[in-house]
Structure 1
Amino acid sequence: MKNRYLVLLLAPMVSAAAQEPPKVTAQQFVNLQQGEAAHEGFRRAHAKGICVTGEFRSNGQLATYSEAALFEQGVTPFIGRFSVAGNNPTAPDLKAPVRSLALSFAMSSTEQWRIAMNTPPVMAVKDPHTFYQQIQAIQAGPKAIQAFFAEHPESSDFLSWKAQYQPTGSFAAETYNSINAFYLINSEGNEQAVRWAMQPKVFVPADNLEGVDALHQEITNRVVKEDIVFDWMFTLANEEDDENNPAKAWPDSREQITAGQVVITAVTPQLQGECHGINYDPLVLPTGIEATRDPILRARSAAYAESYRRRAKEALMGELEGQGNE
């Protein structure tokens, strides 16, 4: 652990403005993600999803690293969401390249934690401007994205993961990663940089899946029979790791701590569930958790907020139009 106050006092006051890449606004990101025709009332990215509810059962193993109440031994409920990548809420589940899990914990009226995780363990790039260019290349087609990766050697860890990744046959069988690093802060002000992953307890092959809503149907059927369980595993960085670079994987030899289990007990179609109205902003953090200086983390937060603003406005306009027709 590092003493965060000592680090702040000793940090050199060096301006990095000349080294910063061009700025990309949240509006530009969301415009690119939604495309020419927005699906009103839905998220601009990961538009297709399903709500989940359940609880985190903490074993208390992280209590010495963070003063977050969530890590004290006990149980905390959550509202979450499984989703697939893309801007179309009716797209086929199995064609999406990324699957996601988001969780929202409300420890009290003033303490919340919102988490957004994806199947890749790292980003392909380390700054928002280059990430924007990556999305442009993806939309331009296979040759463009191939040329993009050839020009960006920092994508090597992402490409290594991509080469070996095999989608499973269930949301319940995927590993979901924080991608970005955060600091755990304990009561003495010591900080520990971490990444985390939700590790599944089941393996489900994708052999027999079919249909536009294959993953949604599978998870709906599964939760009727059994709870869906993930181990919440935290990886602790050491001095050699750069917590501000989301494109660099940390070695498997790093210390890991299992904080407990995330248990999903029910699923609900997203338009009927509470998750649809939640902005899973990764910078909504409780006491005991703080953001690193990772610039993509802040870009994600800004883009989520802009997407939420647009769909909330569309929902309100729809309600007003409905009242006008009564």
Structure 2
Amino acid sequence: MLDPAEAIDRITAAQNAPPGHRALHAKGHFYSGTFNASPEATAICRAGHLQGETVPVLVRWSNGSGRPDANDDRPMVRGMAVSFVLPDGTSTDLLGQTVPRFPVRTPEDFVRLTEITRDRRELAKFVATRPKTALALAANARAKALAPPFSYAEATYYPIHAYRWLTLSGHGTWVRYRFVPRQGPRPPGRFSGRDRLRDEILARLAQGPVAYDMVVTVAGPRDDPHNPMSVWRGSREFVAGWFEITTPEDDHEAEGDVVVFDPTRIVDGIELSDDPILRYRPSAYGVSIERRSHPH
């Protein structure tokens, strides 16, 4: 297994990223809001935030680059990270991105892909031996997943990992999520420049909340929850709940604090898959957190 310190070294080198920031998704801002689960979610999951009561959420919209000065008009992945705050004070996180098909299965391949994304020759060699990666990249291109959106609030975000939901009796159901925007009014004016997505979302929130449906796909009998590349047929889909993001937050990291959204942070009623990317992330985050806390 790739050493996490080496992984962060290679990612930051490929991004030409400055110290003291996230290795990826360095440019982003915090927002707060609420989430309410649907009765359909409550019926198959006992987790505290899925019981129907209103729970607070902390959201971070971000650009995928490792540079905090990334230009919002550059093609790249965008992210929407959500932390649900349960009534007992615990929290659980989901990390969505605008890419509907995750292109690799292992941490080693993810780091290598990050290094060669802009090198057409090396990328061609890489996908030549990984036909499923080629298919995923083609699907993402058709979906225009990297194209600069008009707004963070108009993009669909895909948390790439599957989770097992448990009922009160312990019955398990594998699910995948996606965050689907509800149509809302665009703010007046034109937004341009390298920070236009931040400017647009502030203007939009000044008009009212940004709303999202959390849509869940329930695994079919042949769907693989342990492979982030797997394409699910699904047995059914339903709206598991609704977000209302209302308020821009002050920078939670301005005073040197480190805020981490961790997809392995779960609560009773939710279990992790054996997805190797998912299982690897906390160790890589640990290295990144240490370097963000002590950048010199």
- Normalized against structure 2, the TM-score is what? 0.90
Q: What residue is the counterpart of 2:247 in the other structure?
A: 266
Rg bigger for which structure? 1
1:128 counterpart = 2:110: no
Deviation, 1:313, is 2.5
What's the counterpart of residue 237 of structure 1? 219
Partner letter of residue 134 of structure 1?
L
Kept in 2: contact 1:51–1:273 (CA 8 A) = no
Give distance in 2, aligned partners of 1:273 and 1:200.
29
Counterpart of 1:229 in structure 2: which amino acid? A
SS at match of 2:271: strand
Per the alignment, residue 191 of structure 1 pairs with 172
Per-residue deviation, residues 252-288 of structure 1 (Å, max 9, x unmatched):
x630111121110012353667997321111010111
Structure 1 CA distance, aligned partners of 2:238 and 2:250?
33
Question: Any idea what the Cα deviations from partners look like across 1:50-109, whole Å, max 9, x if unmatched?
Answer: 111000022232112111011111200011100001111011012141000011122145
2:266 matches 1:304? no
Report the alpha carbon displacement of residue 49 of structure 1 after superposing the two structures with TM: 0.3
Alignment of 1:62-101 (within 5 A): 62-101=41-80
1:226 equivalent in alignment to 2:226 = no
> How many residue pairs were aligned?
290
Seen in structure 2, the aligned counterparts of structure 1 residues 276 and 213 have a Cα distance that, compared at 3 Å, is: farther
Amino acid at match of 1:146: A
Give me the whole-angstrom Cα distance separating, in 2, the residues matched to 1:176 and 1:147: 29
Aligned match of 1:313: 294
The equivalent of 2:8 in structure 1 is 30
- Whole-Å separation in 1 of the counterparts to 2:290 and 2:75: 25
CA contact (8 A) 2:98 2:155 kept: yes
Amino acid of the structure 2 residue aligned with 1:125? V
Q: Secondary structure of 2:83's partner?
A: strand
Unmatched runs of 5 consecutive residues or more in structure 1: 1-22, 318-326
- Residue 163 (str. 1) matches residue 142 (str. 2): yes
Shift of 1:198: 0.4
Query: Is the counterpart of residue 154 in structure 1 residue 135 in structure 2?
Result: no
User: Which residue identity is paired with 1:174?
Assistant: A
Q: Secondary structure at 2:42's aligned position in 1?
A: coil
Higher helix share: 1
**Structure 2: runs of 5+ lacking an equivalent:** none
* Separation of aligned partners in 2, 1:133 and 1:54: 36
Give the letter for the 1:126 counterpart: R
| Structure 1 length-normalised TM | 0.82
Query: Residues of 2 paired with 1:148 and 1:114: CA distance?
Result: 32
Describe the shift of the 1:271–1:68 C-alpha distance in structure 2 as closer, same or farther (beyond 3 A).
closer
| Match 1:215 to one of 180, 189, 197 | 197
- The answer for the alignment partner of 1:322 in structure 2 is none
| Contact preservation (8 Å) 2:213, 2:243 | yes
Check whether the contact 1:48–1:89 (CA below 8 A) recurs between aligned residues: yes
Partner of 2:116: 137
Residue 289 of structure 2 aligns with an amino acid whose one-letter code is: Y
Classify 1:245/1:152 alpha carbon distance in 2 versus 1 (closer, same or farther; 3 Å). Answer: same
